[in-house]
Copies of this chain bind each other. A is one copy, B any other.
């Protein structure tokens, strides 16, 4: 059970569709450190696959260049732990493509679990979602870059998780921090 906790869980880091500071839907740029940090977190918790979603061709070239450096280039010899983490990455043009690949890999049709920095009427808690995941039901956990996922995406998701509330009302974490905390809440174990 402990070893398998993340095995039905997939993760998507979404660069389109997301919103900017003014709430407009945009395609954001890929951040190198997001790729590394989130791959390492995913590997730590035994997540099944980590999907980087961007429809922009030049951004896809950038992502492929970063991954290949660490999987087969100079980085692979320098740091095999990093290779291990980055091998979880799948590059996708859309969230629908990520869902299709997960389904075709025989991992079932994942429920779309969105994240959001604001509380919503339909938000679900971590305890409920943790039990859902522990039952082995496949989920694709979706994180928006920039100012987060658009309203249309949140409405279409199967679930939206509660925001991370540190008791201060401040809700401006980096996506790297949000992924770290949420994965620990959903599949982490400690004394």
Instruction: Give A50 to B165 CA distance when docked, in angstroms.
Output: 19
Q: In the complex, which residues of chain B have a beta carbon less than 8 angstroms from the beta carbon of A179? A: 177
Select one of B82, B181, B187 contacting A172, CB under 8 A: B82
Q: Is the CB of A166 within 8 A of B45?
A: yes
What is the bound-complex CA distance between A6 and B167, given in angstroms? 9
Q: Which A127-179 residues have a C-beta within 8 angstroms of B?
A: 127, 162, 164-168, 170-174, 176-179
With beta carbons under 8 angstroms apart, the residue of B36, B41, B126, B176 that contacts A37 is: B176
A38–chain B nearest beta-carbon distance, Å: 9
Instruction: Specify how many copies of this chain sit in the oligomer.
Output: 2
Contacts of A188 in B (CB 8 A): 164, 166, 181, 185
Say yes or no: is A77 at the interface (Cβ < 8 Å to chain B).
Answer: no
Q: Give me 26 A-to-B residue pairs in the complex whose CB atoms sit less than 8 angstroms apart, sorted by A's number.
A: A3-B168, A33-B174, A37-B177, A40-B170, A40-B177, A41-B177, A43-B172, A44-B168, A44-B170, A44-B172, A45-B168, A46-B166, A81-B172, A126-B191, A165-B189, A165-B190, A166-B183, A166-B187, A167-B187, A173-B180, A174-B176, A176-B177, A177-B177, A180-B180, A181-B188, A184-B184
How distant is the Cα of A167 from the Cα of B179 in the complex, in angstroms? 17
Interface presence of A95 (CB below 8 A): no
Task: Output the residue of A3, A125, A181 with the most chain B CB within 10 A.
Answer: A181
- Please give me the residue from chain B that is nearest to A5 by CB atom: B167
> Could you tell me if B44 and A166 are in contact, using CB atoms closer than 8 angstroms?
yes
Contacts of A181 in B (CB 8 A): 180-181, 184, 188
